[in-house]
């Protein structure tokens, strides 16, 4: 799974080429063409209907990856804004002797304007080179998904897929609070796990050391998961801590017991005073 869309959230060039997502180099040399960087078999086909030349084929079943009939594609760009996954780009490697253009969906404010100098970024969002905006298309058919076209040096045309957002300070490198965090063995004892009952990492480590080997066992000893949110926030972390301590994978730790109601309701609802 190294270097894949599942690991990183964006695809690698090798992954795309292996899945035949790139048109042939001969087709690139004939002019603008769509690059459909769609890798996951999900039920989705707006791109098929967006192409008036019949160049995109999804067919049956609807989870098929869209196949580009590269000889039919004119590079018109109608499919770019239609892709809900923002995964379609128009690449024109014939724009000039030294430059290529990349068209991509750009759902951010402020929009750039034609002629503006921008920083071109790759699939990971890292700055690759300087670029110039050649077109900003936001017609009604785009349905609020503007398509921006930028000119960049030709050698980066397989890498560049967007531009750095304007008027936004770049994220700090060490800013990791939004990552999909569960638990790290180096976490300090006073870190809160169960926010409702104020149960810390140390409390749960102690419970596990005392023999708790299920989420329910930890709950009985510490009250983690017994507060207002009913374990919605902490049970994943508790599960990971038990799995780590027992050297098991997370799916071997049984889920905690879920009982109705599925969302917090006042007692008066259960007593029949009002409808849910």
Binding site for another protein (CB under 8 A): 107-109, 144-146, 195-198, 227-229, 232-233, 263-264, 266
Q: Smallest distance, Å, CB 238 to another protein?
A: 15
Identity of the residue, 107 or 184, whose beta carbon is nearer to another protein in the bound complex: 107
How far apart are alpha carbons 82 and 156 in whole angstroms? 25
Q: Smallest distance, Å, CB 228 to another protein?
A: 4
CA 130-94-166 angle, 5° bins: 25
Q: Smallest distance, Å, CB 40 to another protein?
A: 22
Length of the chain counted residue by residue: 276
Identity of the residue, 56 or 196, whose beta carbon is nearer to another protein in the bound complex: 196
Would you tell me how many other CB atoms lie within 10 Å of the CB of residue 55?
22
- Per the CB < 8 A criterion, the answer to whether 36 and 82 are in contact is no
Identity of the residue, 184 or 198, whose beta carbon is nearer to another protein in the bound complex: 198
Q: Smallest distance, Å, CB 195 to another protein?
A: 5
Identity of the residue, 211 or 267, whose beta carbon is nearer to another protein in the bound complex: 267
How far apart are alpha carbons 107 and 80 in whole angstroms? 12
Pairing of strands 127-137, 147-153: antiparallel
Residues 6+ apart with CB under 8 A from 13: 158, 159
Q: Smallest distance, Å, CB 259 to another protein?
A: 17
> Residue 133 forms beta bridges with which residues?
150
Identity of the residue, 260 or 266, whose beta carbon is nearer to another protein in the bound complex: 266
Which pair of tokens denotes residue 101? 């253009």
């Amino acid at each position: 799974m190294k270097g894949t869309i599942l690991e990183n959230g964006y695809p690698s060039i090798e992954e795309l080429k292996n899945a035949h997502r790139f048109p042939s180099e001969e087709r690139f040399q004939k002019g603008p063409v769509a690059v459909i960087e769609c890798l996951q078999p999900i039920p989705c086909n707006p791109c098929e209907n967006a192409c008036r030349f019949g160049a995109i084929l999804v067919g049956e079943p609807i989870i098929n990856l869209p196949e580009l009939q590269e000889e039919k594609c004119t590079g018109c760009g109608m499919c770019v804004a239609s892709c809900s996954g923002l995964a379609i780009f128009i690449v024109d490697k014939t724009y000039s002797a030294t430059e290529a253009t990349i068209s991509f969906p750009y759902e951010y404010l402020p929009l750039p304007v034609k002629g503006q100098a921008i920083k071109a970024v790759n699939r990971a969002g890292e700055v690759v080179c300087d670029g110039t905006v050649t077109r900003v298309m936001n017609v009604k058919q785009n349905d609020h998904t503007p398509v921006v076209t930028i000119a960049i040096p030709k050698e980066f045309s397989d890498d560049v897929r967007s531009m750095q957002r304007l008027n936004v300070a770049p994220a700090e490198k060490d800013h990791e609070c939004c990552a999909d965090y569960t638990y790290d063995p180096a976490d300090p004892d006073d870190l809160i796990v169960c926010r409702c009952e104020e149960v810390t990492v140390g409390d749960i480590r102690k419970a596990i050391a005392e023999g708790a080997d299920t989420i329910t066992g930890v709950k009985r000893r510490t009250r983690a998961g017994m507060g207002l949110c009913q374990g919605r926030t902490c049970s994943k972390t508790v599960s990971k801590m038990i799995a780590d301590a027992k050297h098991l994978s997370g799916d071997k730790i049984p889920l905690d017991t879920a009982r109705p109601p599925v969302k917090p309701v006042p007692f008066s609802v259960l007593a029949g005073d009002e409808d849910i």
